């Protein structure tokens, strides 16, 4: 059973998916507590998807513009909608406040769905395995904020796309790590990543199953095993950890980080290789 804050989101938002028609038939359209109706399934190869696609791009611009990581429209098409999918929550335009409509540059008179969050993921060559490359939630920009929207959006995408193994890259210090680590322990595939725009990025791998995702959405806590605490801006330790990983050691971020003053603290532990 979903915790109350997630039920509230399902009561006030509509789940949606954007992909191409051939992919759509492979997805689970009855995820978590909801159903994705035909009118909420957008085929990026059809003209009728154009407006929703533009609004998702604007959502991305608002979320990532200030980090220099906003996507060109062709990247959304080539690297998300065509090979994989964009899954999120939306609200009908007439139920949204003017400030939000302005923020998303919603055209006057538009009556359709306006995205408030999304997750983008692409399948990799490993069977059942995906790379999640974008998570955005504007839940705190609404006149009635939607706490929990970021976490619920990723859980929704996992269930729609039936993801068993997820890879992703994110920056140490990003709030999003709280979401990724809440859903499952994260094996650190890299701790310091010079190939990324931001070298202080980690790349992770997580395994999901329906039962454990349901437990997270019911807000059941995991028991935390013995761990070391890593601080988000300790570049020396993070580079040393990268060397340990490259030498074959397996390191896992066990659970959600916590924040004190301006620093994030991560419970990490070495696992058997
Ligand atoms: C990161 C982001 C997706 C979080 O969305 P959200 O809707 O606020 O997420 P949730 O409400 O589900 O919050 C998840 C947790 O993070 C916490 N949190 C949210 N914003 C926070 C902040 N600014 N500082 C500290 N903690 C925060 C919440 O309290 C919650 O903690 P809990 O599990 O202990 O209750 C959203 O802020 C965003 O889109 N940011 C810009 C884009 C970005 O950086 N994306 C991540 C790329 S990998």
Instruction: Say how far apart CA 13 and CA 93 lie, in whole Å.
Output: 11
Around Cβ 233, how many Cβ atoms within 10 Å? 12
CA of 128 from ligand 1 middle (Å) equals 27
Instruction: Say how far apart CA 14 and CA 113 lie, in whole Å.
Output: 8
Give residue-wise pLDDT tens across range 195-206: 999 999 999 999
Residue 216 Cβ inside 6 Å of ligand 1? The answer reads: no
Q: Per DSSP, what are the bridge partners of residue 42?
A: 18
Residue 147 Cβ inside 6 Å of ligand 1? The answer reads: yes
User: In the prediction, which pLDDT does 152 show?
Assistant: 98
CA of 21 from ligand 1 middle (Å) equals 31
Q: Per DSSP, what are the bridge partners of residue 269?
A: 252
Query: 32 pLDDT band (50/70/90 cuts)?
Result: very high
What is the residue-wise DSSP string for 215-251? HHHTTPPPPP-S-EEEETT-HHHHHHHHHHHHTT-EE
Query: 66 pLDDT band (50/70/90 cuts)?
Result: confident
Q: Dihedrals φ, ψ of 176, to 5°? A: -60, -25
Answer yes or no: are the C-beta atoms of 75 and 151 closer than 8 Å.
no
Give residue-wise pLDDT tens across range 162-200: 999 999 999 999 999 999 999 999 999 999 999 999 999
User: In the prediction, which pLDDT does 226 show?
Assistant: 95
User: In the prediction, which pLDDT does 173 show?
Assistant: 97
Residue 63 Cβ inside 6 Å of ligand 1? The answer reads: yes
Instruction: Say how far apart CA 100 and CA 77 lie, in whole Å.
Output: 24
CA of 63 from ligand 1 middle (Å) equals 11
Instruction: Please give the average per-residue pLDDT across 140-146, as a whole number.
Output: 96
Atom 31 (ligand 1) nearest CA: 178
Residue 148 Cβ inside 6 Å of ligand 1? The answer reads: yes
Instruction: Please give the average per-residue pLDDT across 10-26, as a whole number.
Output: 97
CA of 177 from ligand 1 middle (Å) equals 8
- pTM for this prediction: 0.96
> What average pLDDT does the structure give for the chain?
96
Give residue-wise pLDDT tens across range 192-248: 999 999 999 999 999 999 999 999 999 998 899 999 999 999 999 999 999 999 999
User: In the prediction, which pLDDT does 256 show?
Assistant: 96
Site to probe by mutation for ligand 1, drawn from 150, 197, 221, 261 as the one with most ligand atoms within 8 Å of Cβ, is 150
What is the residue-wise DSSP string for 2-22? --HHHHHHHHH-EEEEEE-HH
């Amino acid at each position: 059973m979903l915790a109350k804050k997630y039920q509230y989101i399902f009561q006030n938002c509509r789940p949606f998916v954007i992909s191409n028609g051939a992919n759509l038939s492979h997805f689970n359209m009855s995820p978590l507590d909801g159903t994705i109706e035909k009118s909420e399934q957008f085929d990026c190869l059809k003209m009728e998807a154009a407006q929703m696609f533009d609004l998702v791009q604007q959502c991305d611009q608002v979320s990532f513009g200030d980090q220099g990581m906003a996507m060109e429209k062709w990247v959304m098409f080539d690297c998300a909608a065509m090979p994989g999918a964009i899954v999120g929550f939306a609200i009908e335009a007439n139920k949204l406040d003017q400030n939000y409509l302005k923020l998303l540059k919603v055209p006057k008179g538009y009556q359709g769905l306006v995205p408030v969050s999304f997750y983008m993921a692409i399948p990799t060559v490993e069977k059942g395995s995906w790379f999640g490359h974008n998570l955005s939630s504007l839940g705190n920009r609404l006149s009635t904020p939607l706490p929990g929207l970021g976490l619920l959006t990723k859980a929704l995408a996992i269930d729609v796309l039936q993801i068993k193994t997820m890879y992703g890259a994110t920056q140490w210090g990003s709030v999003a790590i709280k979401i990724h680590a809440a859903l499952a322990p994260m094996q650190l595939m890299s701790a310091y990543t010079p190939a990324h725009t931001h070298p202080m990025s980690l790349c992770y791998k997580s395994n999901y199953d329906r039962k454990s995702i349901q437990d997270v959405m019911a807000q059941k806590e995991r028991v935390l095993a013995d761990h070391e605490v890593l601080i988000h801006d300790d570049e020396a330790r993070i580079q040393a950890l990268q060397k340990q990983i490259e030498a074959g050691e397996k390191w896992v971020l066990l659970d959600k980080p916590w924040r004190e003053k301006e620093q994030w603290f991560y419970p990490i532990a070495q696992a058997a290789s």
